[in-house]
Structure 1
Amino acid sequence: MEDKTIQPLVSIIIPCYNYGKYIEEAVQSALDQTYENIELIIVNDASTDPFTIDILEKLNHHSKLTIIHHESNKKLPAARNTAIKAASGKYILPIDADDKVDRTIVEKTVEVLEERADVGFVSVGIQYFGAINKVSIPSPFNLKTLLYRNIVSVTSLFRKEAWEQVGGYNEKFIYGYEDWEFWLNLAKHGWHGVLIKEPLFHYRKHGKSMIDDAVKKHLKIVSQIINIHSELYNETKITHEEENLIKR
């Protein structure tokens, strides 16, 4: 990689609500990056667990790390937006507090954004760990596919200017799929996506999660997405089979 003095700053953001059990692993994976010019911002979304509060206090002494505290629980999309508003980086990488990333993810994704001005976000493959151990490589970015299936991993690098252009994450999506709506919004504003076919995002699979909640509320949330981005769905010719896939 280039010398640190000319590397663009990357802001790694981690929202946290009562995930003290895992957040040290997430933070360490962020700090272990081969890419040097990073800052790390944690948003404590009004955690109530004393263990989590103690862990965050312990982490607060690292020179590259800033912790912001919400006075009330504002949910995941708002916590991400809070972190990004405070971020100084040209590029943003969101990581959930119970997940991890490969040490080369920033280096490899930054390279794509630096080389291609038309690309707004870079997705990667997923390594599941915990209750499930498997690798998943999503389909390459394609708007038509994205309309009926979220093919962009939540932990993908994107331009802060793109986030500003679309007004950030939609804070109404508190039950999940907030990332799917965000990628659609970026695409609607002309940004392209690129996939790196390597499992650089490590997703912890365990018990109940927001994704489980999203699956249960799938039809309601998908209807919300279609309503918000109706022009995209109206302009793109989707087959009856693809329309059914959206609602599964």
Structure 2
Amino acid sequence: MNSLPLVSICIPTFNGGKYLQETLNSIQEQTYSNIEVIVSDDKSMDKTLDIIEKFKPQSKFPVFLYHHKPKGIGANWNNCIKKANGEFIKFLFQDDVMEENCIEEMISIYDENPAVGLIASKRSFIIEQNAVGENTNNWIKKYEDLQSGLTQKKNNVLILDKLVFKRNDFRKPPFNKIGEPSAVLFRKDIVNKIGYFRTDLRQILDYEFWYRILKQQPILIINKPLVKFRIHQDQTTNENNKRHINDYNIYDKILFKEYLNLLGEEDKLRLKHKYSLVSKIIRKLKFLFNVKMKVK
């Protein structure tokens, strides 16, 4: 009987054949042994399914492939979690790669800090030739260190707690202070407390989920890259931009409804002015008064 907790590596796929084999190889090379792979596929039309089927007999661990009716990326992520058998969820996207010690180090940190809600790590970058250029260089410069100035360190681990919400720079880019899904690991049963990923969101659904965890429990960031995040022209962020999909216009409303009491005073005042019913009534009355005075 294996004394190590089972970790479910969750891979939501859609037409991921170009980089998927490299992703799977990084799982095969993990130093942590008690794992399973959960693939939830949104009707891929390329070689994704063939790659998965060929990988199954070669793997040292169970590989489960589930065919999912496309209902958005959040629904596919949630399907991965629902199908997982493990105590822990480790997302890995179809174009990203784990360092060989990724899961072992994350589980080790969890063993030392059982009260935390999520473990993440720094990440390095794989830049495909079609993404080389000034835009990518500027993006990396801006988003390479998501926790810059935000954390207290202990034994090379960065600690985030609810005080993060009160910081003056919390509402300043980068809005995601934790990392992409490939960079995190969390207990499956956390969804019983905070719910699943929101299916009405496309761009901010990952860190909206992380922040729900952070409201309940601290988050730890291992201060070294344990995953490689691939930058290329076909990644979801670029596709969303091409289709003018933008969740950021409702981010403030989410903060107002779910996090208002945790925010700093400046953010509280700004959001109350923007969304509270009392503020809206006062602004309406002022407008009517000004109109009346002009008529006179």
Instruction: Indicate the TM-score class for this superposition, using the shorter chain for normalisation.
Output: 0.7 to 0.9
Shift in CA distance, 186/215, structure 1 to aligned 2, threshold 3 Å: farther
Q: CA deviation at 1:218?
A: 9.4
d(CA) in 1 for partners of 2:188, 2:65 = 19
| Aligned residues of 2:240 and 2:246 also touching (Cα < 8 A) | no
TM-score (norm. length: structure 1): 0.84
Corresponding residue of 2:213: 186
CA RMSD of aligned residues (A): 2.7
d(CA) in 2 for partners of 1:209, 1:89 = 28
SS of 1:119's partner is coil
Amino acid at match of 1:192: P
Structure 1's unaligned 5+ residue stretches are: 244-248
Q: CA deviation at 1:56?
A: 2.7
Q: Name which one, 1 or 2, has greater alpha-carbon Rg.
A: 2
* 2:14 maps to 1:17: yes
Amino acid at match of 2:83: A
CA displacement, residues 134-170 of structure 1 (integer Å, 9 cap, x when unaligned): 7934314353269532121222011111123211111
Deviates more, 1:24-33 or 1:214-223: 214-223
* 2:244 maps to 1:222: no
The one of 205, 215, 218 aligned to 2:231: 205
* 2:45 maps to 1:48: yes
TM-score (norm. length: structure 2): 0.71
Corresponding residue of 1:246: none
Shift in CA distance, 21/114, structure 1 to aligned 2, threshold 3 Å: same
* 1:5-84 to 2 correspondences below 5 Å: 5-49=2-46, 51-61=47-57, 62=59, 63-70=61-68, 72-84=69-81
CA displacement, residues 76-101 of structure 1 (integer Å, 9 cap, x when unaligned): 21111111111111111101101111
d(CA) in 2 for partners of 1:10, 1:210 = 26
Amino acid at match of 2:52: L
| Aligned residues of 1:15 and 1:44 also touching (Cα < 8 A) | yes
Q: CA deviation at 1:39?
A: 0.7
Corresponding residue of 1:114: 111
d(CA) in 2 for partners of 1:170, 1:37 = 29
d(CA) in 2 for partners of 1:16, 1:35 = 23
| Aligned residues of 2:8 and 2:84 also touching (Cα < 8 A) | yes
d(CA) in 2 for partners of 1:197, 1:215 = 30
Structure 2's unaligned 5+ residue stretches are: 152-159, 271-296
d(CA) in 1 for partners of 2:207, 2:18 = 27
Corresponding residue of 2:260: 233
Shift in CA distance, 128/81, structure 1 to aligned 2, threshold 3 Å: same
SS of 2:146's partner is coil
* 1:149-188 to 2 correspondences below 5 Å: 149-153=175-179, 154-155=181-182, 156-173=184-201, 175-188=202-215
| Aligned residues of 2:203 and 2:246 also touching (Cα < 8 A) | no
SS of 1:5's partner is coil
d(CA) in 1 for partners of 2:77, 2:11 = 7
| Count of matched residue positions in the alignment of Structure 1 and Structure 2 | 235
CA displacement, residues 8-34 of structure 1 (integer Å, 9 cap, x when unaligned): 111110011001111111111122111
Shift in CA distance, 218/34, structure 1 to aligned 2, threshold 3 Å: farther
Shift in CA distance, 214/122, structure 1 to aligned 2, threshold 3 Å: farther
SS of 1:20's partner is coil
CA displacement, residues 43-68 of structure 1 (integer Å, 9 cap, x when unaligned): 1111122x223223323434421111
Q: CA deviation at 1:226?
A: 3.1
